Amino acid sequence: MTNVSVKALHQNTPLLRAAPGLFDHPEVWFKMDALQPSGSFKLRGVGRLVQQSAADGAKAIVCASGGNAGFAATHAAVALGLPVAIVLPLTSSAAVAERLAACGAEVLRHGAVWDEAHAFAVRLAAERGAAYVHPFDHPLLWAGHSTLVDEVVDAGIGFDAVVTAVGGGGLFCGIVEGLRRHGLGQVPVIAVETEGAASLHAALAAGEPVSLPAITSIATSLGARRVANEAFERARSHPTLAVQVSDAEATAACLRFAQAHRVLVEPACGAALAAVDRHARGFRRVLVEVCGGMGVSLELLRSWTEPATIKA
């Protein structure tokens, strides 16, 4: 049944030292997953899940996500020659639908919100004999995401803290898994959410995963109303500092990062960048997972950071 020794669909991304002056912190390293062919780290886990599903006989791939999971599922399915259907809620933009279709996906629209699109997509997958790709809650996703830690360890960079954004917590689960595999279970993870999308913070405060009433952050890729149970468990069993930044801090960090490194990232990723100086001061060498994201453009970056001029 297992056939994961086949070549992975994601890239081994560069590990770059942060440009001088970008942070107050003297030594920060970036794992540049913004450079994955699907635009984000999601290809690591989704690629693994799609490969395994194909090996197990899936005839097609279905995913409910107008975000980076949808792009990763499309990339992985097309690479393996499988048909792929992406289900979007009715509210998602025509631009995203067109972009997914251009990448080779059949785009379907169903439901007012993600939960409805998700329920429809699960039924559709069962009808079609297709594998359903969840955006953040599956052990194979976490195993795939954990490869980013393997690559950093192979590069020989010792680090004493990892900074990552948290949405539904799949990336966080993968990072913890990778750290444990390499005997780094004591290295803390600074888990960053934006205010208005802080479902991990809410779960830790409540002592169990809880659903946020709404997502009010601009960082839509962090907008899971409830974290995966496993993310909550790993946050309690691994040294984890759950912190929040504002949307304004996240978008300002996107702009500074673009200017210093000439790479555009979503506010979801900007959140992790924004947390470095505020929350990682006490550590000697800080690793930041630059998770990336397709939902950014020069126009968006400008509108986030100069709202008064642009909205006029």
Ligand X SMILES: *Cc1c(COP(=O)(O)O)cnc(C)c1O
- Name residue 289's beta-bridge partners: 31
Q: What is the amino acid identity at position 12?
A: N
Least distance in angstroms from the C-beta of 22 to ligand X:
19
Q: How far is the C-alpha of 306 from the C-alpha of 291, rounded, in Å? A: 24
Using the minimum distance from each CB to ligand X, give the nearer residue, 59 or 180: 180
Quick one: angle between helices 170-181 and 147-155, nearest 10?
A: 40
User: Of these, 224, 235, 243, 273, which contacts ligand X (CB under 6 A)?
Assistant: 224
Using the minimum distance from each CB to ligand X, give the nearer residue, 107 or 224: 224
Helices H / strands E in the chain, number of each: 13, 10
* 82 interacts with ligand X by CB under 6 A: no
Q: Is 299 helix (H, G, I), strand (E, B) or coil?
A: helix
Using the minimum distance from each CB to ligand X, give the nearer residue, 262 or 311: 262
User: Is residue 131 left, alpha or beta, with left meaning phi > 0 and alpha meaning psi from -120 to 50?
Assistant: beta
User: Of these, 64, 222, 254, 301, which contacts ligand X (CB under 6 A)?
Assistant: 222
Structure tokens at 121: 């997509």
Q: Closest Cα to residue 144, out of 133, 158, 130?
A: 133
**Which are the contacts of 312, defined by CB distance < 8 A and separation ≥ 6?**
none
* 232 interacts with ligand X by CB under 6 A: no
Q: What is the 3-state secondary structure (H, E, C) of 228-261?
A: CHHHHHHHHHCCEEEEEECHHHHHHHHHHHHHHH
* 266 interacts with ligand X by CB under 6 A: yes
Residues 160-179: x where in contact with ligand X by CB under 6 A, - otherwise, as a string:
-----xxxxxxxx-------
Strand 61-63 relative to strand 84-88, pairing: parallel
User: Of these, 36, 51, 53, 68, which contacts ligand X (CB under 6 A)?
Assistant: 68
User: Of these, 36, 40, 51, 220, which contacts ligand X (CB under 6 A)?
Assistant: 40
Using the minimum distance from each CB to ligand X, give the nearer residue, 128 or 149: 149
> Which position has the token pair 């980013």?
148
Q: Hey, which residues between 132 and 151 contact ligand X (CB under 6 A)?
A: 136
* 268 interacts with ligand X by CB under 6 A: yes
Residues 279-308: x where in contact with ligand X by CB under 6 A, - otherwise, as a string:
------------xxx---------------
Least distance in angstroms from the C-beta of 38 to ligand X:
9
* 273 interacts with ligand X by CB under 6 A: no
User: Of these, 125, 264, 269, 288, which contacts ligand X (CB under 6 A)?
Assistant: 269
Structure tokens at 92: 């998602």
Q: Which residues bind ligand X (CB under 6 A)?
A: 40, 42, 67-68, 136, 165-172, 221-222, 224, 266, 268-269, 291-293
